[in-house]
A = this chain, B = another copy of it.
Amino acid sequence: MSLLGKRVTERIKPSAITEMMILVKKHKAISLTAGEPSSEMYPVDLLRETIERALRDPGILSYYPLSTGITELREWIAEWMKEDGLLPQSYGGENVIMTNGSQDGLNLVSEAFIEPGDTVLVENPTYPEALLAFGKEGARFVSVPVDKDGPIVEEMEKVLSQNKVKLFYTIVNFQNPSGCVTTEERKKRILELASRYGFLIIEDDPYRYLRYEGEHEGSYIGLAQEEDRVIYLGSFSKIIAPGIRCGYMVLPSKIVGPMGELILATKLSLPAFLQRATWELLRNIDMKAHLAKLADTYRTRRDALHRFLQEKAVPQGMTYDLPKGGFFIWARVPWLKDCFDFAKFAVLEEKVGVVPGAAFYPDVLTADRSTLRLSFAKVPPETAEEAGERLGRALARYKETR
């Protein structure tokens, strides 16, 4: 179809994460690939019950007159975030818009703000599906490296002095893939840069409630207060279930109207009964206990994988910092020259799936090809030993054959 436009012919490339997940499934490998929670942790019974309850009112199965989502859930989210000290006092449910997961939010931001050729500043490394959403609209990328405390501010200043940046995309807690957490102090300095250089901050925060030790940080949107500089993206995918596709964005009042019209043009509305069911679930679940259970489970998984990586993969040259939350161990194997090739080798030869780290760099040419992303979320402790074993063996064999 020669009629296809630039988005699909030039701008969008196949996703390395999806390709790897499909390969893992096909070869029935142990998967360290998926950035998704473990299905035993979904509150399925409660969800089933609340959906049943939501459907008692068939009117909820009609088109919803507000494309922005149901009022009760939007208000619940604003309250919840306020209790957590994340929102300016003047914000309320009217600043919240429901999305089909965070990716829908990323796409809406991209469609509302990006014109072809606009410059988007991203972290290096960063989440590749965000690059897809911005790249789709013709964004050009510049990047700032991160260390364990988030984006390196001095490096950011250099980039900003040389480029007119429209927006900065950042994953603030347990960043995907590096695991870094942006400190309050860095956020303040970056907000100053945003004011000085006039750019918007897209604060992506799906992993916030998956902290396994230490204290919660504040948010950009809370720090910015009345300055309309920040759009916050949240999601119930990691703490309830990805399949309810229930994400949200929090944004300055003056953008809510235009964003609602954009949603109407792209999908009219989302399944409102799922939002009603989610709202009832959130009101009825003991959220503190639920989050504590998630933290216990994933902390145990992280520690188990850590132990067997120490035993089996570290002797092959692997290094990493243990993350304090989220789903990923971001590893480096200094002698590894092509992580894409190794990832294929590992799944085909040893039936263990990892994601090549170079897929997370906005610039392919300067990507660190010795990196790997290892997700522990879906690996129970009893599988971790076998996963570590296979990965260690894959590294040893791969090293020999090259």
Residues of A bordering B, CB below 8 Å: 1, 3-9, 12-15, 18, 21-22, 25, 34, 36, 39-40, 42, 44, 47-48, 51-52, 55, 58-65, 67, 100-101, 103-104, 107, 111-115, 118, 129, 132-133, 135-136, 166-167, 198-200, 228, 241-245, 252, 254-255, 258-259, 261-262, 264-274
CB distance from A62 to the nearest CB of B (A): 6
CB distance from A4 to the nearest CB of B (A): 6
- Tell whether, in the assembled complex, residue A42 and residue B58 are in contact, meaning their CB atoms are under 8 Å apart: yes
Q: Which residues of B contact A133 (CB under 8 A)?
A: 265-266
A-B contact pairs, 7 of them (CB 8 A): A12-B261, A12-B262, A39-B62, A62-B241, A104-B266, A107-B265, A136-B262
For A269, give its contact among B44, B112, B245 (CB under 8 Å): B245
CB distance from A115 to the nearest CB of B (A): 5
Which B residue's beta carbon lies closest to that of A44? B58
Q: Which residues of B contact A118 (CB under 8 A)?
A: 5
- Tell whether, in the assembled complex, residue A48 and residue B44 are in contact, meaning their CB atoms are under 8 Å apart: no
CB distance from A5 to the nearest CB of B (A): 5
CA distance A55 to B47 in the complex (A): 9
Closest 5 CB pairs of A and B: A61-B243, A8-B258, A61-B241, A132-B265, A39-B58
Asked whether A242 and B61 contact (CB < 8 A) given A3-B166, A4-B113, A264-B132, the answer is yes
The oligomer's copy count stands at 2
- Tell whether, in the assembled complex, residue B265 and residue A136 are in contact, meaning their CB atoms are under 8 Å apart: yes
CA distance A356 to B145 in the complex (A): 55
Q: Which residues of B contact A136 (CB under 8 A)?
A: 111, 262, 265-266
CA distance A91 to B344 in the complex (A): 33
Which B residue's beta carbon lies closest to that of A116? B116
Asked whether A129 and B268 contact (CB < 8 A) given A8-B112, A18-B65, A39-B62, the answer is yes
Asked whether A52 and B48 contact (CB < 8 A) given A14-B261, A265-B129, the answer is yes
Q: Which residues of B contact A1 (CB under 8 A)?
A: 200, 228, 252, 254-255
CA distance A47 to B271 in the complex (A): 14
Q: Which residues of B contact A104 (CB under 8 A)?
A: 266-267
CB distance from A396 to the nearest CB of B (A): 30
Output the residue of A59, A262, A267 with the most chain B CB within 10 A.
A267
For A271, give its contact among B22, B67, B244 (CB under 8 Å): B244
CB distance from A319 to the nearest CB of B (A): 30
Q: Which residues of B contact A254 (CB under 8 A)?
A: 1
Asked whether A8 and B261 contact (CB < 8 A) given A39-B61, A266-B107, A274-B271, the answer is yes
Which B residue's beta carbon lies closest to that of A166? B3
Q: Which residues of B contact A51 (CB under 8 A)?
A: 48, 51-52, 55
Q: Which residues of B contact A266 (CB under 8 A)?
A: 103-104, 107, 133, 136, 266
- Tell whether, in the assembled complex, residue A63 and residue B243 are in contact, meaning their CB atoms are under 8 Å apart: yes
Q: Which residues of B contact A39 (CB under 8 A)?
A: 58-59, 61-62
Output the residue of A18, A63, A228, A261 with the most chain B CB within 10 A.
A63
- Tell whether, in the assembled complex, residue A242 and residue B100 are in contact, meaning their CB atoms are under 8 Å apart: no
For A25, give its contact among B65, B113, B261, B268 (CB under 8 Å): B65
- Tell whether, in the assembled complex, residue A61 and residue B107 are in contact, meaning their CB atoms are under 8 Å apart: no
CA distance A261 to B128 in the complex (A): 13
For A258, give its contact among B4, B132, B199, B268 (CB under 8 Å): B4
CA distance A223 to B67 in the complex (A): 36
CA distance A347 to B44 in the complex (A): 44
Which B residue's beta carbon lies closest to that of A237? B63
